[in-house]
Amino acid sequence: MRPELEKVATFYQGYVRNVIDLEMFDAMKQSSKATLELVRSIPESKGEHRYGEGKWSIKELLAHMIDVERIMAYRALRFARNDKTDLPGFEENDYAPEANAHGRTIAQLADEMERLRATTIDMFKSFTPEMLQREGTANKNKLSVLVLGYVIPGHETHHRKILIERYLK
């Protein structure tokens, strides 16, 4: 089961497009594997590297990826449980400096990413087909649980590309 891209809120379409060719669990597993291989190859000495002034460091970017997965998984849980409460958005630039990214090593962040993805997959495996179709509103965007299951690896893929193209050139 895959979402219909034209029915995905515009803000999330790019993320979903990154992984739409795969089934949801394959997208989650393949994206995680590729990201972990890349992240674990980054020397600790590059952890505070920024590709430009005012840009996040590599560690801050990794912490952002973790934060977003947690937020999207939380949204999916709420919607799967048929919670009709409109959920607020969040300001990623306010989160980044508060994530204690520089208080952790790249290896610690990678291990956390790995454990988080495993629990995200476990949660999505618990959802029935009916639950995957349920929708809710977050940050004024209508989203289904299924779409969130694609946003998670799609967002990760988006930032993995940025790591490669901008940080690790």
Contacts of 22 (CB under 8 A, 6+ apart): 30
Give the separation between CA 3 and CA 74, rounded to whole angstroms. Answer: 19
118/111 Cα distance (integer angstroms): 11
pLDDT tens-digit profile of 95-145? 999 999 999 999 999 999 999 999 999 999 999 999 999 999 999 999 999
Q: Report the pLDDT value the prediction gives residue 46, as an integer from 0 to 100.
A: 98
pLDDT digits (tens, 9 = 90+) for 21-71: 999 999 999 999 999 999 999 999 999 999 999 999 999 999 999 999 999
- The whole-model pTM stands at 0.97
> Can you give the CATH number for the domain in which 101 is found?
1.20.120.450
| 22 burial level (CB within 10 Å; 0-12, 13-18, 19+) | middle
Q: Residue 128: what pLDDT?
A: 98
Q: How many domains does the chain have?
A: 1
According to the model, what pLDDT value does residue 42 have? 98
* Domain containing residue 65: 5-167
In sequence order, what are the residues at sequence separation of 6 or more whose Cβ sits closer than 8 angstroms to the Cβ of residue 155? 15, 65, 68, 69, 72
